[in-house]
Structure 1
């Protein structure tokens, strides 16, 4: 669904920009692996986040090495987008493997439409709030994107670097 929405938005906003379309398609494809984060939340609820942290850090080190290699060979931006997709996919796979190795079985998972409906009803306000926060946090980037893509890129990097300061409180809150 997110992949379809992202591609549609790019087609509407940048109809003649095939590079942007390719980049969005590749990076948005990573949303297919987000359901594995459910396992991460389960490990957090069991106060066993260390297993997921080791798996994610291992993948991050591998991907960082690949990115350095791509920089050295002056690879295209499409290659970097592909590595971003591979990163998300490998993290999902690593999380699933850790889950299986701890004696759990993904094959036993079943969909409960009743429970899903109940959870959606209970979380409606949270979903609206999350969307509002997301839009609020990205609207400046969208406005910059219409002006100059280079400036938008600089801004994105600066925001990501400043978000590093947000990680420590999240780690402490998750651990407590």
Structure 2
């Protein structure tokens, strides 16, 4: 009988550089706890995500900032009494300049408990910078990305 808990391993520490491993782990792990990308399938799924986010990040002292939200889903949740609209700020990027610098500055200020960006498109370097700012400002940053059937077909 083989005991899986007592596997004989030969450990070779000669080739490990502990400092580089610790530094990269700290840099990679910290921002991801403040930054999240959530895939959304349809309007029902979007309503569920909005409700979860609002309930998880509601704070008496801070706002939940939504950039380009889907208004019908939010209005429906508000009417049903599932979310409280008093602490939600909605910004439409077509009417207000929402640049990357504005997003980073808002995250760094920490005046919001969460910032939700719907269908925003940034490159990897910009996403890392947004993630860093979210961690530094202790503001949860959530990207909601609508998944279309064409995107799903490409993934399979």
Q: Fold conserved (TM > 0.5)?
A: no
Larger proportion of helix: 1
Between 1 and 2, higher relative CO (CA 8 Å, sep ≥ 6) is seen in 2
Using the size of structure 2 for normalisation, the TM-score is: 0.23
* Structure exhibiting the larger radius of gyration computed from Cα positions: 2
Using the size of structure 1 for normalisation, the TM-score is: 0.21
